[in-house]
Structure 1
Amino acid sequence: GRDTVAPVPPAAGLEILGRRRAAELDESRITVGGAFDAFRRQRLTGYQDPLVEVVTGDAIGLRMRQAWTSAREQIRQLDSPPYFPLDGATDDALATLARGVTQRVVYSRESLEHPGQLENSIEPCIEAGEQARVLPSVPVKLVIIDDAYALVALSIRETDVYNTMLVVQPCGLLSALVALFEQAWQNALPFHGRSARPAGLLPADRRLLRLLAAGAGDEVIARELGVSRRTLFRRVQVLMARLGATSRFQMALQAQRSGWL
């Protein structure tokens, strides 16, 4: 026809065609990626069984009580302050033990030093059959109900606030929490007696031995027993004589071997 056609260098022509094809590929990649993201969001929105649930405020107490009630075989716990203010928590634990549920707890030294915690909560559970051990500290506040789920506390230590908790369903994280507890249990010092209570051992003396084994200081022990430091020293001397110990460390070791702890 009337149009004039002029040849161009092959390299220039191929570069133009290549850019056009690259733009088409980019457009296709964006379209497919957007469609996949939309599909994934739709599937996740329809998934009604999250692996990790966040519980806050007053709902924490309700979930904790539900946890103790739902236990069928065993409860594993790492315990340390701060504590959520929950009336009847000790009664719930005792009721669970009465149903034959095994309860293993690793307490931190702070648990024993917390005012009233040893006498009002820990000792009643131990007397009811709880298996207790103690460590200088625990890495996290944790409760594992059977192998079904775990409760993990998120606390603000600087202000002693306990207002957030995670509920972890069966997944890799739950397996890791179980392994964490078992490692802590292996490293902890036994804290419950395996034999009959020795004749003449007062509850206050057993409490004294438990506090000493946990590494509590004299002021904390005297406060928990409600005695002066002088009276405390006299009680320690009497117990050392009964156990044939020449130091507090040896006394705690002998008490553990004798089933007094």
Structure 2
Amino acid sequence: MQQDARAGRMPGAGRFCTVPGAGAWAGAKVPAGVVVEEYPLPQQHEQVLRELTAEVRESADALRQGGEWTGVALALDAAMARRGVRVRAVYPRALLAVPRHAAHLRRVSEAGVSVRVLDHVPHDLMVFDRQTACLTAGEGAVAPLVRVRGPLLAASFAAIYESYWQRATPLSRTSAGPHHARLGERERAVIRLMTNGYSDERIARKLGITAPDVQSVMAALMERLDAGSRFEAGYKLAREVDPRDL
């Protein structure tokens, strides 16, 4: 593999012609406008991901098996979500059976990430703005990270991700009442008044807050519940929350 020491490229990173899972490319030329690079060292992985998450503007989608990068991934995902980036992540369903992993998934969801679980997550994959994809090349804790840049292949990886996302189950549907216990006093008050037909302005006056505060509470609930509308959020909450507890 050719090494490239030009400015801006990490030592150990180089362009190559084989993409994991695409054996027909072996020995072939990389399509025009596509750059494929391998980063074999763990410290390079984190640096590459930090650079990409700092640059992303619209969307970041991930398949994650869990493991050693979970803490780093949470911090990076939360930073993107705070900037208004749409962040989605699919994790293995088996993580829910381990309390500390299940707690981690809840923290990811609370950080503003839309989380789903799937019976089988084949490998780690991240797609940024449908322009760049990162995936692990092979198995094991020290598997090289591969970065693919260019809309041609990145769009293909985005389509693959979308197929996994559609088959996955929202975290909110994986256990009975997962959001009930986490509702804060303000959230409970907003939900109670909203179910009684109060408008945002009337709720704000009743609670002594502003209408944007009410809207922020509802937006956070919709994100946590993976709901596309207030109606859907209300439907999901109705299945989980006993009205007597509001």
TM-score, structure 2 length as denominator? 0.54
CA-CA distance at 1:87 after TM superposition? 5.8
Spell out, residue by residue over 1:208-241, the C-alpha distance to the aligned partner (whole angstroms, 9 max, x if none).
xxxxxxxxxxxxxxxxxxxxxxxxxxxxxxxxxx
The structure 1 residue matched to 2:39, chosen from 55, 79, 103, is 55
**Structure 1 residues 84 and 163: CA distance shift in structure 2, 3 A:** farther
The structure 1 residue matched to 2:167, chosen from 187, 196, 199, is 187
Superposition pairs of residues 134-173 of structure 1, within 5 angstroms: 134-156=117-139, 160-173=140-153
Once the two structures are aligned, what percentage of the paired residues are identical?
A: 23
Which residue in 2 is equivalent to 1:27?
Answer: none
The structure 1 residue matched to 2:86, chosen from 102, 105, 120, is 102
Provide the rounded CA distance (Å) in 1 between the counterparts of 2:71 and 2:106: 17
Between Structure 1 and Structure 2, whose CA radius of gyration is higher?
A: 1
CA-CA distance at 1:49 after TM superposition? 7.1
Gaps of 5+ in 2: 1-28, 184-234, 242-246
**Structure 1 residues 176 and 88: CA distance shift in structure 2, 3 A:** closer
Superposition pairs of residues 20-39 of structure 1, within 5 angstroms: none
CA-CA distance at 1:77 after TM superposition? 0.8
CA-CA distance at 1:118 after TM superposition? 2.8
Q: Which amino acid aligns with 1:258?
A: R
The alignment yields a C-alpha RMSD, in angstroms, of 3.4
CA-CA distance at 1:84 after TM superposition? 4.2
Are the counterparts in 2 of residues 154 and 162 from structure 1 also a CA contact under 8 Å?
A: no
Which residue in 2 is equivalent to 1:178?
Answer: 158
CA-CA distance at 1:80 after TM superposition? 0.8
Provide the rounded CA distance (Å) in 2 between the counterparts of 1:115 and 1:76: 25
Are the counterparts in 2 of residues 78 and 105 from structure 1 also a CA contact under 8 Å?
A: yes
CA-CA distance at 1:85 after TM superposition? 4.6
Normalized per residue, the structure richer in helix is 1
